[in-house]
Amino acid sequence: MNKQELALADTRTQIAAAMFKPVPGGYVFCEPYRLPFTQSPHYLVNEAQKDQILATIVPKRPILWQVTLWSAICVMAAVAGIAFWPYTRHGDTTLTDMIGMIVLTFVLVLVAFVLLRWRTLRGLRPLLASLPTTDLRITRSDAQRQVTDAMSTRQLILVVAAAFIACSSFLINAIIFLMMGRSVGFLYLAGGLLFGAPAIVYCRRLIDRVGNALPKPPQAHDDTGPN
Looking at residue 86, its pLDDT comes to 65
pTM to 2 decimal places: 0.60
Distances (CA, A) of 83 to 86, 110, 134, 142: 7, 17, 46, 39
Question: Where does the pLDDT of residue 91 fall: very low under 50, low under 70, confident under 90, or very high at 90 and above?
Answer: low
Q: Hey, which of 96-105, 166-175, 205-214 has the most confident mean pLDDT? A: 166-175
Q: Up-side HSE of residue 202: CA atoms within 13 Å toward CB?
A: 23
Q: What is the mean pLDDT of the chain?
A: 77
- Tell me how far the alpha carbon of residue 205 is from its chain's centroid: 15
* Residue 37: predicted pLDDT: 66
63-67 average pLDDT score: 70
Nearest to 49 by CA among 107, 119, 130, 109: 130
pLDDT at 223: 53
> How high is the pLDDT of residue 121?
82
- Residue 120's pLDDT is 81
* Helices within 89-183 (DSSP H only): 95-128, 140-150, 153-179
| pLDDT score at 11 | 66
| Whether pLDDT at 18 is above 60 | yes
pLDDT at 225 over 60: no
Tens of pLDDT, residues 159-189: 888 888 888 988 898 898 888 877 777 878 8
Confidence of residue 134 (pLDDT cuts 50, 70, 90): confident
pLDDT of residue 191: 82
DSSP lists the bridge partners of residue 45 as: 27
Confidence of residue 41 (pLDDT cuts 50, 70, 90): confident
- Judge whether residue 72 has pLDDT over 80: no
Residue 65: count other Cβ atoms within 10 Å of its Cβ: 14
Query: What mean pLDDT is predicted for residues 122-146?
Result: 83
